[in-house]
Amino acid sequence: MAMPSDLILAAFLVFCRVGGCILIAPGFSSSRIPATVRLYIAVAVSLALTPTLYPLVLPLATDATPASLLSAIASEAAIGLLIGLLGRLFFLALQSFAAVIAQSIGVGGMPGAMQDEGEQLPALSTLLTLTATVMLFITDQHWELLRGLVGSYDAMPPADGFMPQFALVSVTDQLTESFLLALRVASPFIVFSIIVNLAAGLINKLTPTVPIFFVAVPFLLAGGMLFLLFTVKELLAVFSGTVGSWLATG
């Protein structure tokens, strides 16, 4: 029979991993959400998962010394941060390439505030990233994130502690996958920008007396916005589907 103090410590160890993940996970970590609300979410999720997970973390809390307990707390928090970071990398990559899309269609000079950070980025980058974050919740993929937290206790058992080599490999692989996905999303606009600027350059060579680049800007803006109108649904669907697939299987 476990002592009440051991059960409380086990629940706190679950909170360390869950809280570390929610601290940096996409959507949950937005600065627009008050810190108190995020804390309540982390506590509620931890208490809901503790009855299922306490047999895995109870050995770390039973007869633990202060040193071993601090080590377990740091390890669980680091694992939670790793899981949240792996999901966040998808949205950071989309944010970066959304700025590339804005530059490609000539709207990169319109500043907008990101929903997760205070820095100024193109308004189109804000729009695409915010839409992808909303889709994360609309499609119930945030529940897959919580399911992945539960599954992480099998992939990274608390008894094994935090494994730096495994974490480094996971982050490197995730960086590759997320930026390739974002490049797939932005590639039509990159090609569009190359074609338009190449055509403008050729026309300018044929008619050097006409300032063709000043004339071409409205066509670039109009064509880029129309191109975005007809492709944004498919682009966001590809992004959301890939993120959902990773959450379900990763």
pLDDT at 102 over 90: no
Q: Please compute the mean of the pLDDT values over residues 203-214 and round it to a whole number.
A: 73
pLDDT at res. 55:
84
Report the alpha-carbon distance of residue 4 to residue 36 in Å, rounded: 27
Residue 250: band (very low, low, confident or very high) from pLDDT cuts 50, 70, 90:
low
> Is the pLDDT reported for residue 78 higher than 90?
yes
Name the pTM for this structure.
Answer: 0.84
Distance of alpha carbon 119 from alpha carbon 112, whole angstroms: 8
For the segment 124-141, what is each residue's pLDDT rounded down to a tens digit?
888 888 899 888 888 888
Residue appearing with tokens 């649904």: 233
- What is the rounded average pLDDT for all residues in the chain? 84
pLDDT at 99 over 70: yes
10: CB partners within 8 A, 6+ apart:
2, 50, 54, 57, 58, 60, 61
Q: What are phi and psi of 122, to 5 degrees?
A: -55, 145
Please give the average per-residue pLDDT across 182-206, as a whole number: 85
Give the model's confidence band at 146: pLDDT under 50 very low, under 70 low, under 90 confident, else very high.
confident
**What's the pLDDT at 77?**
92
pLDDT of residue 57 exceeding 80? yes
CA distance from start to end of the chain: 35
Check pLDDT > 60 for residue 115: no
Q: What is the mean pLDDT of residues 216-234?
A: 85
Over residues 159-176, the mean pLDDT reads: 90
Give which of 106, 53, 66 is closest to 221, Cα–Cα.
106
Band of the pLDDT at 151, cuts 50, 70, 90? confident
Which pLDDT score, from 0 to 100, does residue 89 have? 92
State yes or no: pLDDT of 197 exceeds 60. yes
**Domain-by-domain residue ranges, the chain?**
4-249
Confidence at residue 113, expressed as pLDDT on a 0 to 100 scale: 56
Residue-wise DSSP of 54-81: HHHHHHHHTT--HHHHHHHHHHHHHHHH
